[in-house]
Amino acid sequence: MSNTILVVAAHSDDEALGCGGTIAKHIAQGDQVTVAFMTNGVASRLDTPEHNTNATKRESAAQLALKALGVSNFHQFDFPDNKMDTVALLEVTQAIESVISACKPDTIYTHFGHDLNIDHRITHKAVMTACRPQSWSSVKKILSFEVLSSTEWNSPSINAFQPHYIVDISNYWNKKLAALKCYEDEMRDFPHSRSYQCVEALAILRGATHGFEKAEAFFVERILDV
């Protein structure tokens, strides 16, 4: 029996960094996957030709990355990049609710609630608000992913990401890497944590500590056994 998956990411590239291998695995298993991007990933400035060009380039990169993972369904919202806290939470929640209503997912992947990036935190809160537990809700599982250069960068005084749901992506690492390479402009040189080497090192760590070659790790927000 196939599952219906929704990935809600603040920016295009978050989906590849956080759960690209897991997305590819779902696709291989015959699951239906939809991805929703809340911003265009380009810092909000005046409506200039440069800004518009960068936004178009980022969207093209996202389409190529999703194709590499096997995803054909996605939604692109235009909330202000790195300024989602300037928008009423209700607006963000309603946007997510519209996608949930359209695809009726049983599983949602989204950001960890204590990431450093404000857009990640707003997206997480909006997902949890949109998925208030109700008897009629299709959503039975909510998992939060980690995004290097945000999840591990928050203050030590904030709750750290402590995963307890592990997905073996050993056979899907190449697809995750192919998706990341579509976001070449967003990647950084090692030893920056958003480098190819560091992303692979994290996958190896998450895998080896659970008996796999490579894995992605998630914080469980909700799992309902029905």
Ranges of each domain in the chain: 4-223
The C-alpha atoms of residue 99 and residue 120 are separated, in whole angstroms, by 18
Residue 76 pLDDT: 96
Task: Look over the chain and give the mean of its residue pLDDT values, rounded to a whole number.
Answer: 94
The C-alpha atoms of residue 195 and residue 61 are separated, in whole angstroms, by 17
What is the dihedral angle through the alpha carbons of 183, 186, 187, 192, rounded to the nearest 10 degrees? Answer: -160
Both structure tokens of 88: 């009423």
Tens of pLDDT, residue by residue over 56-102, are: 888 899 999 999 999 999 999 999 999 999 999 999 999 999 999 99
End-to-end CA distance of the chain: 15
3-state secondary structure of 5: strand
The C-alpha atoms of residue 116 and residue 141 are separated, in whole angstroms, by 24
Residue 111 sits at the vertex; the CA angle it makes with 169 and 36, to the nearest 5 degrees, is 85
**CATH level 3 topology of 4-223:** Rossmann fold (3.40.50)
Query: 46 pLDDT band (50/70/90 cuts)?
Result: very low
